[in-house]
Amino acid sequence: MGRAGVERTGTTEADPAGARTGGEAVVDALVALGVRHVFGIPSVHNLPVFEALSAHRDIAAVGVRHEQAAAHAADGYARATGHLGVCLTSTGPGAANAVPGLAEAAFASSPVLMITGQVETGDLGKGRGALHEADGQLAMLRTVVRRAETVRRVQDVEGTVLDVALDVLTGRPQPGAVEVPIDLQYARTGGRAPLPSAPRRFAPPDDALDRAAELLAAATRPLIWAGGGAIGAGADVTALAERLGAPVLTSGGGRGAVDEEHPLCVGAIADQPPVPDLVADADVVLAVGTRFQAGPTRRWATRIPGRLLHLDVDPAVIGRNYATDVALVGDAGRGVAALLDRLGPGAGRDPGWAERAGKARAEVHARLRERMGPDHVAIMESIAALLPAGGNVVRDATVPAYVWGNRLLPIRRPHTSMHPTWAGIGPGLPLAIGAATATGEPTVLIQGDGGLMLSVGELATLAQHGLPVVVCVFNDRGYGVLRGIQDAQFAHRTDVDLTTPDFTLMAAAVGIPAVAVDSAAAFGEAFAAAVRRPGPTLLDIDMTALHPLRMA
């Protein structure tokens, strides 16, 4: 995939006069941005863009079955590549359907651009009842994206797409949206917009870097807390950890920034005792690209009494949840590289510090494995052994993900791990579609039966595009997380036990090989075959036949 600022190639053929339709201008802008796949659903309000996509050799449309899935798939594509993900919707109902996916991308700091149609320019704001009319659409989109714009002239189509894309790629990544009225998609225009510049990356100020390096050099018990913003700086974060002898905690979004089998990587278990005590005893904590969200900090109960150095491209998050001694406002990669340049070989470290972190990790892992029971341990170990190193690991909001998928299943490389950061159920399958489309790598999806039903139509998308996704449906015939809460807090259950379809028959109906699994051994055999298969597979795992999995 390319990047903003690349040379323009493969432009759609225009008419002999050199004019393009507005739909072609949208596609030319996306190609200039390095986009290679767009996720969406055709509609009367975006057909010219789909027509331009079909005629272009450098970009392809991936048709999904629901606009929310289009936004989630674009998000998965962005997380798997670190580049712009794009979805294409209709105006009105289509754009509204995509809003939850854009909100998830915003929470995950993911650069997703939605191109949506609009009614004809002459009908905008009139409230006359035009087809799919949505006078408040721009205001709605602005509640979940950094920037949303409506194109008013056909000659501005390409430039507006480029401007909004550059905005959402700059600083902390966020989603954006562009409305293109349908008459402007059909209209023709000459001329070209200037090629986009690359998003600007900047290092923190020298004086802040000097002070941070001084504190790190003097630290005896340094610790690094890496969030999603550290993913693109993983090699330097690892090198800095090794230079300092510093254990590395990660948020859920930061998994893969450091290989989780590296001896200094404690992983995404910051909320699990005794890890909070480790944080409290660190004399210097370097936070890289994290907001210190509620979950990893136990709703901010974890104490950070040592010196806190906070590196983030978004100045608004520095000091929001924890008082900061040194604010390092800048790109994570450039900031960590600049710290490495300022630091000599590590000296004066507590010789037992890294060992203590390793023991804390081992204690947590042992406790969580005991909660899992032997069957889930065996299933997890099968996934870890059989999924190729570059394979993607996608988890939906489901009990196996909370107990082991989000914590223990090892992530070895950046950009290969994703989950719904907003904690909604259902995004797992479309996120996996985006990741598999972007990379072509085998992708494992850890999904609950309740969550799958929210996006079950996307099984047809998997089949149509032959994507290498192994859909592991952990089937307990209900909303397992909520069932546990109700059982603990209330006298009876309400609407958490579900009538569940036969997922193997549903998969077979769209041509996906499927296997019913009722043991850990059967899972290992079926998963091995699924990973070797070039297209999708569904494994329907009967959780009631496995050793019980405990949330706590």
Rg (CA), the chain: 24
- pLDDT category, 137, cuts 50, 70, 90? very high
Q: Model confidence over 262-275: pLDDT tens digits?
A: 999 999 999 999 99
Lowest-confidence pick of 109-113, 180-184, 346-350, 391-395: 346-350
Which residues are registered as beta bridge partners of 310? 287, 327
- pLDDT category, 5, cuts 50, 70, 90? very low
Please count the other Cβ atoms lying within 10 Å of the Cβ belonging to residue 190.
11
Predicted confidence (pLDDT) at residue 295 exceeds the cutoff of 70: yes
Give span(s): CATH 3.40.50.970, the chain. Answer: 20-189, 360-545
CA distances from 2 to 59, 143, 198, 309, 417 (A): 12, 29, 11, 33, 22
Q: What percent of the chain clears pLDDT 90, i.e. is strictly above it?
A: 86
- pLDDT category, 483, cuts 50, 70, 90? confident
Predicted confidence (pLDDT) at residue 485 exceeds the cutoff of 60: yes
Distance CA(70)–CA(53), nearest Å, equals 16
CA angle 189, 190, 195 (to 5 degrees): 105
Lowest-confidence pick of 7-11, 139-143, 242-246, 420-424: 7-11
Contact present, 257 and 231 (Cβ < 8 Å): yes
Q: Model confidence over 519-545: pLDDT tens digits?
A: 999 999 999 999 999 999 999 999 999
Q: What percent of the chain clears pLDDT 70, i.e. is strictly above it?
A: 96
Give the pLDDT confidence score for residue 433 in this predicted structure: 98
Question: How buried is 311 (Cβ within 10 angstroms: 0-12 exposed, 13-18 middle, 19+ buried)?
Answer: buried
Of the candidates 235, 295, 299, which has an alpha carbon nearest to the alpha carbon of residue 268? 295
Query: What's the mean pLDDT in 42-50?
Result: 96
* 363-393 b/e (C-beta count within 10 Å ≥ 16 → b): ebbeebbeebbebbbbbbebbbebbeeebbb
Considering only residues 129 and 156, tell me which one the structure prediction assigns the higher pLDDT: 156
Distance CA(455)–CA(476), nearest Å, equals 17
Give the pLDDT confidence score for residue 347 in this predicted structure: 65
Q: Give 343's DSSP letter.
A: -
Angle, nearest 10°, between helix axes 22-32 and 47-54? Answer: 50
State both tokens at 236.
Answer: 């330097």
Residue carrying structure tokens 């051994």? 521
HSE toward the beta carbon, residue 545, CA cutoff 13 A: 13
Distance of CA 327 to the CA centre of its chain: 26
State both tokens at 524.
Answer: 């290992």
The three-state secondary structure class of 171 is coil
Give the pLDDT confidence score for residue 7 in this predicted structure: 30
Predicted confidence (pLDDT) at residue 452 exceeds the cutoff of 60: yes
Give the pLDDT confidence score for residue 512 in this predicted structure: 98
Query: What's the mean pLDDT in 356-369?
Result: 98
CATH class as words, domain 206-351: alpha beta
Question: What CATH architecture applies to the domain 360-545?
Answer: 3-Layer(aba) Sandwich (3.40)
Distance CA(389)–CA(383), nearest Å, equals 11
Contact present, 85 and 75 (Cβ < 8 Å): yes
Query: Residue 247: CB partners within 8 Å, gap ≥ 6?
Result: 223, 224, 241, 264, 265, 266, 278, 353, 354, 357, 358
Distance CA(548)–CA(377), nearest Å, equals 11
Distance CA(108)–CA(76), nearest Å, equals 10
Give the pLDDT confidence score for residue 130 in this predicted structure: 81
Q: Which amino acid appears at position 277 of this protein?
A: D
Give the pLDDT confidence score for residue 126 in this predicted structure: 82
Could you give the residue ranges of the DSSP H alpha helices within 245-352? 275-281, 332-342
Lowest-confidence pick of 142-146, 453-457, 485-489: 485-489
Considering only residues 482 and 327, tell me which one the structure prediction assigns the higher pLDDT: 327
Contact present, 336 and 208 (Cβ < 8 Å): no
Q: Model confidence over 218-263: pLDDT tens digits?
A: 999 999 999 999 999 999 999 999 999 999 999 999 999 999 999 9
Q: Across the chain, what does the average pLDDT equal?
A: 94
CA distances from 111 to 15, 75, 293 (A): 33, 7, 20
Q: Model confidence over 154-172: pLDDT tens digits?
A: 999 999 999 999 999 999 9
Contact present, 430 and 73 (Cβ < 8 Å): yes
- pLDDT category, 4, cuts 50, 70, 90? very low
Distance CA(353)–CA(239), nearest Å, equals 17
Distance CA(480)–CA(483), nearest Å, equals 5
Could you give the residue ranges of the DSSP H alpha helices within 396-453? 399-400, 428-439, 449-452
Give the pLDDT confidence score for residue 17 in this predicted structure: 52
Angle, nearest 10°, between helix axes 234-244 and 332-342? Answer: 30
Give span(s): CATH 3.40.50.1220, the chain. Answer: 206-351
CATH class as words, domain 20-189: alpha beta
Predicted confidence (pLDDT) at residue 453 exceeds the cutoff of 70: yes
Query: What's the mean pLDDT in 351-371?
Result: 97
pTM above 0.75, yes or no: yes
Of the candidates 432, 441, 440, which has an alpha carbon nearest to the alpha carbon of residue 405? 432
Query: What's the mean pLDDT in 482-498?
Result: 87
Give the pLDDT confidence score for residue 14 in this predicted structure: 42
Could you give the residue ranges of the DSSP H alpha helices within 33-92? 47-54, 67-81
Query: Residue 305: CB partners within 8 Å, gap ≥ 6?
Result: 280
